[in-house]
Amino acid sequence: MTARRRDLFLCLILAGFAALLPVVSGVRYTVTQTTFFFIWATVVVQWNLVFGIGGIFSLAQMALFAVGAYTAAMLGYYLGTSMFLAMPAGALLAVIFSVAVGLACLRLRGPYVALLTLCVAQVMYLMIVNDTDCFTNPPAGCMPLMGGVRGFSRFGDLGFRELLGPAFYIGHYYVGLAMLTLAMIASVVVIRSPMGLAFQALRDNPAYAAARGIDRFKYQLWIFGLSSFFTGLAGAFYAVNTGVVGPVVFSFSHLLFLLSMIIVGGVGTIWGPLVGALLLMFADEAMRELGDLRDIGMGLILVGCVVLMPRGVVGLLEDLARRRAAQPARNAPLPTKESA
């Protein structure tokens, strides 16, 4: 079995197990928190394409997430668009936005890309929260075009409330699971394709990659575009799942939390972001009662991982597996005269 087939097969197996959770557990809290895991895992799996595979230190991912969320919410709020249309529309707008950001970053490297992409997100945030002009004047009070500080709510849903009543969250769970499964499959297909190799070549040795005819312009735009579709879709689904969207999606602490997931799991590995998201969401949940110590605890986990596992949990496991595979060969008896 090829590595690509193995990874795809594993994706489907894991998705199958995850599909049983609402039936097996039945605890609402577990189901709703796992839905959030699907959302954040989708974001970090796609971010890993840009950051881990492409080696581009972009911090625009939460801005793309916000584009998806705000597009879906605004279409629903102002035009009454069904969320079945608004969600893909949000994803497509995130792609267009991401390609534009990719173009702006073409001449930049390393921390300068991070600064520019962070600036884009911050400008969006400030434009939203400082807009106090009334675009409409509903009875509840002034509503700025982008929702201002208050954001949007009651812009529509996927109809699970009507269909499933109080168990509507189970419908959202399966939508989230489907989204993450597709995002993982897309990620595996890209990484295990010639295009994925081109991304890695540009990351590891740009000069050599260029000498081999790999067009940085083309591939950088591809990677920005590809990674943003599911990020925008995750944003749109986040809006539908929580029923509200506001400027909190731009928060820097959120951005760092997601970045930590990639680092803890393993930058540039296929399964690292998924594992990182799972571990950090567990850790975050376990430390929920600790108040301010929770942030310190998360910081310690991150520092510990960076110091002890520079390649993340999955990177460490890969190293151990490689060492173990190499060991029999090293311990094998030297050939004797007879055997020769």
The binding site for another protein (CB under 8 A) comprises 28-29, 32-33, 129-132, 138-142, 148-151, 153-154, 161, 166, 168, 242-249, 251, 291-292
Residue 135 CB, nearest approach to another protein (Å): 13
Taken in order 132, 244, 246, 87, the sign of the CA dihedral is negative
Q: Which amino acid is at 50?
A: V
Residues 6+ apart with CB under 8 A from 101: 58, 60, 63, 116, 117, 120, 224
Question: How far is it, in rounded angstroms, from Cα 36 to Cα 257?
Answer: 13
Question: Residue 142 or 303: which CB sits closer to another protein?
Answer: 142
Could you give phi then psi for residue 136, rounded to 5 degrees? -130, 165
Q: How far is CA 269 from CA 117, 191, 261, in A?
A: 23, 9, 12
Tokens of 324: 């173990």
Residue 92 CB, nearest approach to another protein (Å): 23
Question: How far is it, in rounded angstroms, from Cα 200 to Cα 64?
Answer: 23
Question: Residue 4 or 294: which CB sits closer to another protein?
Answer: 294
Residue 313 CB, nearest approach to another protein (Å): 27
Residue 223 CB, nearest approach to another protein (Å): 29
Question: Residue 166 or 213: which CB sits closer to another protein?
Answer: 166
Question: Residue 4 or 150: which CB sits closer to another protein?
Answer: 150
Question: Residue 87 or 113: which CB sits closer to another protein?
Answer: 87
Residue 120 CB, nearest approach to another protein (Å): 19
